[in-house]
Amino acid sequence: MEEKKDQAYFRKLANQLMFDLSDEEANAIVKEFEVLTKQLELLDAVDTEGVEEMIYPFEEDTFFLRKDEVTHVISQEDALVNVKDKIEGHFVLPKVVK
């Protein structure tokens, strides 16, 4: 059964992506989704039977693998330079409940 693509649906989806939507924003997505649905008909009009997905612009195989040597380490200070709250060289969060 297909879920109804309403405000509540997209808000739930947004929450899975760890953000919220205002009513207005959720409404805008409902509208955009209608446009997208129409646009999808344009995609469907292209016959892709037997066509492989194009994942990368170039599809020559590569051979490079990185040698297992330490090339670049940063200091603890640098690691934490972008956060305010730190304890004994750790990043800090409210207790994470598993």
Q: Are 38 and 32 in contact (CB under 8 A)?
A: no
Of 4 and 18, CB closest to another protein: 18
Q: How far is the CB of 21 from another protein (least distance, A)?
A: 6
Q: How far is the CB of 64 from another protein (least distance, A)?
A: 7
Q: How far is the CB of 69 from another protein (least distance, A)?
A: 7
- CA dist., res. 90 & res. 40, Å (int): 47
- CA dist., res. 5 & res. 32, Å (int): 11
Which tokens sit at 1? 């059964």
Q: How far is the CB of 11 from another protein (least distance, A)?
A: 9
- CA dist., res. 13 & res. 10, Å (int): 5
